[in-house]
Structure 1
Amino acid sequence: MSATHCPAFLISAPASGQGKTSITAAIARQARRQGQRVRVFKTGPDYLDPMVLERASGAPVYQLDLFMGGLAHCRALLCAAAREADLILVEGVMGLFDGQPSSADLAAAFGLPVLVVLDASGMAQTFAALATGLARYRSDIQVAGVIANRVGSEGHARMLAQGLPPELPLLAAFTRHEALALPERHLGLVQALECPQLDEQLDAWAEAWLAAQALGQGWPPQAAALALAEAEPPTPPHPEQPLRGLHLAIARDACFSFIYPANVDVLREMGAQLHFFSPLAHEPLPACDALWLPGGYPELHAATLRAHPSFFEALHQHLAAHKPLLAECGGMLCLLQSLTDGEGHSHAMAGLLPGQAQMQPRLAALGLQSVCWPQSAQPLRGHTFHYSLMQSGPAPHTRAENPNGGRAAEALYVQGSLLASYIHHYFPSNPEAVARFFGAALR
């Protein structure tokens, strides 16, 4: 056994909306500008924040999720990052103790020092009370410092710091920067590829981070080294490569963008040859044995998809040839008879699945999911998060289970060589099922 060491922090908050993503991106960008190798992770299922964090750090952002990936998978990802990085940042999800598993559970599992981001606007001495309560709520985590966000002035920053105990320093204080806020839409942040000025904005965040440190007690905090025991040498994850020789097409653009890097890794490790294409750019479906339509924003691009000269017909031909097709969330909506967008405009879709979908003004479903594909008695894990509702759809093959007992328990639809669901699947949770489904094209 050996140990891999690297400075690492989990950046969390008491709630969503405190500024975790922008501050994580600011720290990563400034470290990168100083020549450091930075790896950033995101706790829990998320596609949008990682897009921004990837641009900030210059490296792909993977999920660390104790439910979707499990302890050993998360440890392997952290170990791989620690071998090549000078700094590891893990952005938490929701509040520090929210959810099962929570960001605090992840910090406890790997001894990650926690940095708490607090929105200090409209707050004085209560800031210290809130920070102290978060630090002392659980004895199995270490809160190494506090970062104040949306501070009104230098005097406000001093006031915030005065009430904190010595072991809980105010590391930095961000003053209000409304111009640096990223635009949002119904699923969260606007995608990084849709923000042409993002790099300039990230550089501005990095400068703001430097200024924020001047109003605090300095960076980095003490006791920040992450030590992870690992076995040597690591074994190949999929030595038999069950998808060797498979040509797998994957839609990828602003419409089909919800793709976990770990999913792509699994497919490549199993030997698949991946062919990415953009339906929005009216690129044709590549010659392929199997197809993956991931989630995204078909409701924003339905007219463009409909105008594609061959996309919908190619989907018909693909399924008529009994080739595997996985359609997740937005990818599934493209296969319905119609999709009504947020403005009430109805768009004809591919018509490969019965039913219609309509965007809703409120969230329709959110939650972790566990579902068994027909190819395996063991479940795949993932999550659901969508604003659309489907009417008159096909009969479900099965339904997912929600590990937290929530109402969201999505249907899995099976129609010939098609698997479709609102679920965004995490392939490392059951690579064998993924191999059996896509690998049917080789048999």
Structure 2
Amino acid sequence: MLAPSVSCPALLVAAPASGQGKTTLTAALARLASRRGLRVRVFKCGPDFLDPQWLALASGHPVHNVDLWMTGEPDVRQRLYAAAQQSDLILVEGVMGLFDGQPSAADLAQRWGLPVLAVMDASATSDTLAALAYGLRHYRPGLPWAGVLANRVGSARHGEMVAQSLGEGFLGAVLRDAGPPLPERHLGLLQAAELPDALSRLDAWADALEATPLGQFSAVDWQRYAVDFPAPESSGEPSDDAALRPLAGRRVAVARDAAFSFIYPANLETLTQLGATLAFFSPLADDPVPPADAVWLPGGYPELHAAALSAATRCAQSLRDHVDAGRPLWAECGGMMPLFDTLIDKAGQSHALWGLLPGAVMMQARLAALGPQQWSPDGRVAPLRGHTFHYSRCETALPPLDHAQAMRGGLASPGEAVYGRQRLRASYFHAWMPSSPEAVALLLGVQA
């Protein structure tokens, strides 16, 4: 018997390359649909913490990442199916260029039959844009296709030229100055919460999109992009089996503020499904660690708040007390950086930090590491999958306890160092916790 499926209109919003404006226009489309009363759910292809913040603001719902390697096909299937049950429209924003990466956004589109909406920068071109669109559509046989949304056209006349060139594949043109930009910094877009006018920026882009053919779609029009999403093989619901809830009765303190905000919503879900109670605190506010059995310091932008974190002596002492008491602490990337003695910012200014690990962290202008990685805390449980992406490097006399594995083309090579003392573990590696609940329990649970 075939598994039941749920039908829902869906698009994968992709581009020929990064920097074409796909995040802005995906968010604008989500905002426009939401303003019209449609229930819209948005997903982000690949590892990313910043784009999902804007997409969540636009849609009014948490944004989960989907990736055939990092999150895995069963996880993607479960999340898309759940979204299709409660949505009028599903949008998936791609990553980099349509065919870039292993796996790519195109792989995801083909696996689930998601029609591709190509956002293409039309600056300084007209007819050639149609040639590039033809290449995107036909480069891989069988790729589902919706059409092209031309971005950054210079004038109404320019938009007409592009429309004529693209023909039936044209779904609209958006002027280059249609709305205020979404500002960027070294890791990507600014966090949506940093801008008090973030929603009004999205509304301006949604207004511009409303004037396009795509923006005029009715509920009937959207049905041309209906996709059948198969049911997952299991419900994905948390079990009452105590063996499957190894963090039951344990309290996990999670740092969460402007300096520690790179948190996958799915990671919080995993912790609660494992039985943990979560308690949030702000190192920037110099909150001490609340009473907890374990601590998680997620990534973020500690380098932008080095002075405030240096002054957070009460928080630092509570973390030292927590580790000295033999309790577990997991720190990833930005969560690891203030654990060292010193942080040197991009201006070369040195800040005394928390001193749980010896050495210094130095910001640099060039990207230090990027790519998929995985790590098993004991080499026996299934590895946590995730990624690394950072502009700093650390210098320490502390020898690594272990290394993550960098994954390229299915082959593993030495990746990020994992440092530690007592139950503290720290690395530039960002973990997708649903990929190995057993590893999460090992990191934050009672040591066997």
The one-letter amino acid of 2:183's match is P
How many residues align structurally?
Answer: 440
The one-letter amino acid of 2:307's match is A
2:352 is aligned, of 348, 355, 358, to: 348
SS for the counterpart of 1:401 is strand
1:17-32 equivalences under 5 Å are 17-32=19-34
Q: Distance in 2 between matches of 1:406 and 1:97?
A: 22
Alignment-derived partner of residue 428 in structure 1 = 434
Q: Deviations over 1:251-303 (max 9, x none)?
A: 00110000001000000111100001111122221111100000011111111
The one-letter amino acid of 1:353's match is L
Q: Which runs of 4+ in 1 moved over 6 A?
A: 214-219
2:71 is aligned, of 65, 69, 72, to: 69
The one-letter amino acid of 1:257's match is S
The one-letter amino acid of 2:444's match is F
Alignment-derived partner of residue 49 in structure 2 = 47
* Contact 2:345–2:362 under 8 Å retained in 1: yes
1:54-203 equivalences under 5 Å are 54-164=56-166, 166=168, 169-177=169-177, 179-203=179-203
CA 1:407/1:49 → structure 2, altered by over 3 Å: closer, same or farther?
farther
Alignment-derived partner of residue 325 in structure 2 = 321
2:253 is aligned, of 244, 249, 253, to: 249
CA 1:215/1:420 → structure 2, altered by over 3 Å: closer, same or farther?
closer
Tell me whether 43-52 or 157-166 shows the greater mean CA deviation.
Answer: 157-166
Q: TM-score, normalised by structure 2?
A: 0.94
CA 1:5/1:45 → structure 2, altered by over 3 Å: closer, same or farther?
same
SS for the counterpart of 2:370 is strand
Residue 178 of structure 1, CA deviation: 6.7
* Contact 1:294–1:330 under 8 Å retained in 2: yes
Alignment-derived partner of residue 4 in structure 2 = 2
Q: TM-score, normalised by structure 1?
A: 0.95
Residue 163 of structure 1, CA deviation: 2.4
Alignment-derived partner of residue 338 in structure 1 = 342
Corresponding position: 1:258 with 2:262: yes
Q: Distance in 2 between matches of 1:414 and 1:140?
A: 48
Alignment-derived partner of residue 312 in structure 1 = 316
Q: Distance in 2 between matches of 1:136 and 1:407?
A: 34
Alignment-derived partner of residue 224 in structure 2 = 223
1:440 is aligned, of 424, 427, 446, to: 446
Structure 2: unaligned runs, 5 residues or longer: none
* Contact 1:2–1:231 under 8 Å retained in 2: no
Alignment-derived partner of residue 423 in structure 2 = 417
Residue 376 of structure 1, CA deviation: 3.7
Q: CA RMSD in A?
A: 2.0
* Contact 2:179–2:201 under 8 Å retained in 1: no
Residue 63 of structure 1, CA deviation: 0.2
Residue 214 of structure 1, CA deviation: 8.1
Tell me whether 130-139 or 223-232 shows the greater mean CA deviation.
Answer: 223-232
* Contact 2:407–2:413 under 8 Å retained in 1: no
1:201-240 equivalences under 5 Å are 201-213=201-213, 220=221, 223-230=224-231, 234-240=235-241
The one-letter amino acid of 1:362's match is R
Q: Distance in 1 between matches of 2:345 and 2:380?
A: 35
CA 1:408/1:144 → structure 2, altered by over 3 Å: closer, same or farther?
farther
Corresponding position: 1:298 with 2:302: yes
Q: Distance in 1 between matches of 2:27 and 2:212?
A: 14
* Contact 1:173–1:215 under 8 Å retained in 2: no
Residue 440 of structure 1, CA deviation: 1.4
Q: Distance in 2 between matches of 1:440 and 1:215?
A: 53
Alignment-derived partner of residue 389 in structure 1 = 393
Residue 233 of structure 1, CA deviation: 6.9
Percent identity (aligned): 52
Residue 180 of structure 1, CA deviation: 1.2
Residue 235 of structure 1, CA deviation: 4.9
Residue 238 of structure 1, CA deviation: 4.5
Q: Distance in 2 between matches of 1:426 and 1:225?
A: 29
* Contact 1:68–1:381 under 8 Å retained in 2: yes
Tell me whether 24-33 or 202-211 shows the greater mean CA deviation.
Answer: 202-211
Alignment-derived partner of residue 402 in structure 2 = 398
* Contact 1:170–1:216 under 8 Å retained in 2: no
Q: Distance in 2 between matches of 1:235 and 1:199?
A: 33
CA 1:173/1:408 → structure 2, altered by over 3 Å: closer, same or farther?
farther
